Amino acid sequence: MTALEAGAKDAVPPELLRIQIEASDPAASAFVSANAGSGKTYVLAQRVIRLLLQGVDPAKILCLTFTKAAAANMANRVFGQLAAWIALDDAALDQKIAEIDGRRGDAKRRARARRLFAQTLETPGGLKVQTIHAFCTRLLHQFPFEAKVAARFSVLDERGEDELIAALRMKVLLQAAAEPESGLGRALTAAVAHAAEQSFAEALRAAIAARRSIAAWLAHAGGLDAALAGLSSALGVDASATMESLAQDILAASILAASDADDVIAQLRSGAKTDQDQAARIESAMRILGPEQIELYAAAFLTQKLEPRAQLLTKTLAKALPKLARPSSRAWRRSSSSARPCSRASARAPSSRSPPPSSTAIAWRKRGAGFSTTTI
């Protein structure tokens, strides 16, 4: 607590005290801007107390803050000061009142000041120091029909929302498991087959968080099938394509044939550290088959941001492996830049051929020189 907040008048410069008194005057419309801990809450509390000293009904005073902590802090300041006034003698109470508004107290003001604590406590609903959310909730409760909301509604907090979503999620998963041949059941089977338990849960949470965007996308496209067809078109893949078929297409169009992989890896191992790292990436990709292979294989040609590598091997080995060095040429960069029109097009209003709003999808497209990336 600062000296100002503790009410240590001697520690406050006279000019600052004058400004505080002006800012806390209820008759003035004031905007207070100051650093943290400099006494903004103190000034606001004094403004409320001055209203009470002037005889304003506590029920007619409304203080709005952004957070519950700030509301509680301000209410404690007001009640704490009013409670302390009860035990002060006349001289000490006159001094405290003078510190607030610059005017010395008299018998009438002292009597009012000593009654304020009890009067505020006995006010129906108490002194209204609330968050903006709490105030709006109170208004909706008082006028539910005018606001077109359900009467006696309750506000769902973050914990309650999480519990409700968890219960609904479990209900949907149980329904999908009980009806494996339904559309929902087939979707669950496909999702579980391509995701570990943790990544599946994360994907569900992400989908639920984006539920409004996904619903808007589906409604705009005219249904799930039309939306998926539009997404496939935007990504440049066939709607019937699978991860396996896409992996085969990508590897078939690769500049590095599987039959040449061993020789290429051996030559890369004889090069510099950068070449040896490239050899390790290619070797890891050649050890497995299926969609996972594409992730590893692409790492040899693309950076973590899915952009073409500046070079695939050092200049020394570029002469020995000209075919592998070709993606770093001007033609490779020109090929990979073909993604830019798709990125600009996705900034326009969504159409039936567009992917979900605020979504990002990456497609590896076949090119004569290898891979190019398209961000949608």
- Name the least confident of 9-13, 150-154, 361-365: 361-365
- Between 20 and 137, the more confident residue is 137
**Residue 197: pLDDT band with limits 50, 70, 90:** low
State the chain's maximal CA–CA distance in angstroms: 103
Residue 54 in this model has a pLDDT that exceeds 80: yes
In the predicted structure, residue 361 carries a pLDDT above the cut 70? no
How many CB atoms are located within 10 Å of the residue 129 CB? Answer: 24
In this prediction, residue 85 carries a pLDDT of 92
pLDDT at 233 over 60: yes
Render pLDDT for 261-310 as a digit per residue (tens, 0 to 9). 788 888 888 888 888 888 888 888 777 776 677 777 778 778 878 787 77
**pLDDT tens digits, residue range 117-133?**
999 988 887 788 999 99
Strands 362-367 and 370-375: antiparallel
Q: Tokens 């001007």 appear where?
A: 330
**Structure token digits, residue 325:** 């060095």
Three-state secondary structure call for residue 8: coil
Whole-angstrom Cα distance, residue 129 to residue 225? Answer: 52
Q: At the topology level of CATH, where does 9-147 sit?
A: Rossmann fold (3.40.50)
User: Residue 30's closest CA among 49, 73, 39, 21?
Assistant: 21
pLDDT at residue 35 is higher than 70? yes
Q: What is the pTM of this model?
A: 0.48
Rounded mean pLDDT of 237-243? 81
Residue 351 is predicted with a pLDDT of: 42
Q: Between residues 321 and 128, which one has the greater pLDDT? A: 128
Domain ranges across the chain: 9-147, 242-323
Coil, helix or strand at residue 28: coil
Question: Quick one: pLDDT at residue 290?
Answer: 66
Mean pLDDT of 337-346: 34
pLDDT band at 198 (very low <50, low <70, confident <90, very high): low
Confidence of residue 376 (pLDDT cuts 50, 70, 90): very low
Mean pLDDT of the region 178-182:
90
Note the pLDDT of residue 115. 92
pLDDT band at 201 (very low <50, low <70, confident <90, very high): confident
CB 17 within 8 A of CB 102: no
Q: Give percent of the chain above pLDDT 70.
A: 81
| pLDDT at residue number 175 | 92
